[in-house]
Chains A and B, each alone.
Chain A
């Protein structure tokens, strides 16, 4: 939420999410490559955060007191770029340059290239460590703000994530909130078949996180989870968001073939035809 803005209703947030989904698909189709599945699964998570929770100012992206959002699953950047464009960090027309030569919208996010991008990403498993580093610096400087780090469920197979989880716990970094977009699939198939990561909630609890499990497409649950997490003192928090990869487009949902492929014009039309009314 930008400074002084009124918090939108759940219905308004759902309408925004629907609009975002359409633009994300159009953006990836225009680029001719990208990651639709993992972008669509985190739309509610981003919408609730940017429109209802995050303290930030698109007019002053470097505002020292802003909350920090780190997208650790960098391949989901079409969703983040779309959110940032809607929030006014840069003109929406620039979304058409995604993945093109000399664009500020790199195939994976580049810190410093585009206003609103806090961290470079694309090599998985690194975001939570950086969230911890920012939180430690904030504690030294007496700066009160929240640091959110969004990871994929496949991503947390990376060992560094669990090294970082131990650090968040050991240093009692209660300004750090890990969000897991548990969309069930990774590049070559179901996470459960490739390298099972369950029991996810027990794991984060065992690592010392105040852990919430929610339906990541239910806007009300998402907003409530962010509110609850922000109240926790002395412990980092983890929000395990159960989601559906490719959410909103029937032929993309839970189909790992849509991990890293752009829709062609026919597929885009079919997808957009399905994205007219709020369903979740």
Chain B
């Protein structure tokens, strides 16, 4: 299987936007190489602005560019571009309804050896709580490229979470991509696994393990956590009666929380959350870390079996 980091796909998307969208510009806090925005910088030096290691000013500068009609992509590590800047994103970007695109590379555990301070594990929660902010987490490099282009065409602020480590290609060039439209990656009616980013691949592998036991798991790629595709989730809850969420992120208020907000109100079924359990990351090889934090396909399959037990012992629901 082809392997490529999602940040590379983003970099290619930004480069293409350089050609098609003269209003697209990039702002960076000295991490443009990490976010793969340096390809755009090389090609369009007059449309790239560095503000040094100053994330708050980076977001303010991006807001100003958007106020004057540009479509700025503000690029840094996922942790710094969302963590140091929450207030700037809230007032300067979201309150002003500006079309600023916030790009966070090195999301999740994939930064690996750098350890806890660089491992973004809470940003879905922060970003989706901001009024009007879309939250997009592509599952592979191709989807990352499409999400960069879709973000530029999206009317409001968008947060894009990218990974550093190479990830397998799951989608094809011809697959449609729309912000807010979930993708069913594998059919199944026993339970639904909802995931984003790298965890889509792990969930597909988990579904394969479950298949060997005769369990048919539906796998949904929820690349857009907000605005959430409630219709696809409700349909899955009705069809499968159990939902497992999987994210390379804290289980507190992230993808799992967003899905639960829909399911609990519209069609309650047993749910379970796989993710980071209220703690910081640590140094290590990315795969080693994914094992340690129980985010491997076998961990997802184990959670799925537990959830199925709960589904079977739950009182029968009348439709």
Say yes or no: A166 contacts B61, CB within 8 Å. Answer: no
In the bound complex, what is the Cα–Cα distance between A122 and B56 (angstroms)?
16
In the bound complex, what is the Cα–Cα distance between A160 and B88 (angstroms)?
10
- Nearest residue (CB) in A for B68 is A137
For chain B residues 23-63, which have a beta carbon within 8 Å of chain A?
Answer: 25, 46-47, 49, 51-52, 54, 56-57, 59-63
Please give, as numbers and ranges, the residues of chain A lying within 8 Å of B95 by CB-CB distance.
110-111, 120
- Is A131 close to B, CB under 8 A? yes
Which of the residues B46, B56, B67, B87 comes within 8 Å of A133, measured between beta carbons? B67
Which of the residues A137, A166, A167 comes within 8 Å of B70, measured between beta carbons? A137
Please give, as numbers and ranges, the residues of chain B lying within 8 Å of A130 by CB-CB distance.
60-61, 63-64, 67, 92
Q: Count CB-based A-B contacts (< 8 Å).
A: 105
Which of the residues B25, B57, B67, B87 comes within 8 Å of A119, measured between beta carbons? B67
Query: In angstroms, how far is the closest chain B Cβ from the Cβ of A138?
Result: 6
- Is B91 close to A, CB under 8 A? yes
Say yes or no: B57 contacts A164, CB within 8 Å. Answer: yes
Which of the residues A133, A138, A171 comes within 8 Å of B66, measured between beta carbons? A133
Which of the residues B51, B69, B72, B91 comes within 8 Å of A126, measured between beta carbons? B91
Say yes or no: A160 contacts B68, CB within 8 Å. Answer: no
Please give, as numbers and ranges, the residues of chain A lying within 8 Å of B97 by CB-CB distance.
112
Q: Which of A112, A130, A136 has the most CB of B within 10 A?
A: A130
Say yes or no: A167 contacts B61, CB within 8 Å. Answer: yes
Task: Tell me the A residues contacting B by CB distance below 8 Å.
Answer: 110-112, 118-123, 126, 128-138, 140-141, 143, 159-160, 163-164, 166-167, 170-171
Contact residue range for chain B? 20 to 34
Q: Which of A129, A134, A140 has the most CB of B within 10 A?
A: A129
Say yes or no: B96 contacts A129, CB within 8 Å. Answer: no
- Nearest residue (CB) in B for A147 is B64
- Is B186 close to A, CB under 8 A? no
Please give, as numbers and ranges, the residues of chain B lying within 8 Å of A131 by CB-CB distance.
64
Please give, as numbers and ranges, the residues of chain A lying within 8 Å of B47 by CB-CB distance.
140
For chain B residues 220-279, which have a beta carbon within 8 Å of chain A?
Answer: none
Please give, as numbers and ranges, the residues of chain B lying within 8 Å of A110 by CB-CB distance.
95
Query: In angstroms, how far is the closest chain A Cβ from the Cβ of B166?
Result: 34
With A119-B67, A137-B69 in contact, is A129–B57 under 8 Å at CB?
Answer: yes
Say yes or no: B67 contacts A163, CB within 8 Å. Answer: no
Query: Beta-carbon contacts of B116-160 to A below 8 Å, as 1s and 0s?
Result: 000000000000000000000000000000000000000000000
In the bound complex, what is the Cα–Cα distance between A130 and B61 (angstroms)?
5
Say yes or no: B49 contacts A111, CB within 8 Å. Answer: no
- Is B90 close to A, CB under 8 A? yes
Say yes or no: A160 contacts B65, CB within 8 Å. Answer: no
Please give, as numbers and ranges, the residues of chain A lying within 8 Å of B92 by CB-CB distance.
120, 126, 129-130
Task: Tell me the B residues contacting A by CB distance below 8 Å.
Answer: 25, 46-47, 49, 51-52, 54, 56-57, 59-70, 72, 87-88, 90-92, 95-97
- Nearest residue (CB) in A for B97 is A112
- The 8 A-B residue pairs whose C-beta atoms are closest, nearest first, are A133-B64, A129-B60, A137-B68, A163-B57, A163-B54, A130-B64, A133-B65, A133-B61
- Nearest residue (CB) in A for B64 is A133
In the bound complex, what is the Cα–Cα distance between A126 and B61 (angstroms)?
9
In the bound complex, what is the Cα–Cα distance between A135 and B63 (angstroms)?
12
Say yes or no: B96 contacts A136, CB within 8 Å. Answer: no
Say yes or no: A140 contacts B88, CB within 8 Å. Answer: no
With A137-B70, A170-B52 in contact, is A120–B64 under 8 Å at CB?
Answer: no
Which of the residues A134, A166, A167 comes within 8 Å of B67, measured between beta carbons? A134
Please give, as numbers and ranges, the residues of chain A lying within 8 Å of B25 by CB-CB distance.
137, 140
Query: Mind listing 7 A-B residue pairs with CB under 8 Å?
Result: A129-B88, A129-B92, A136-B49, A159-B56, A164-B57, A167-B52, A167-B54
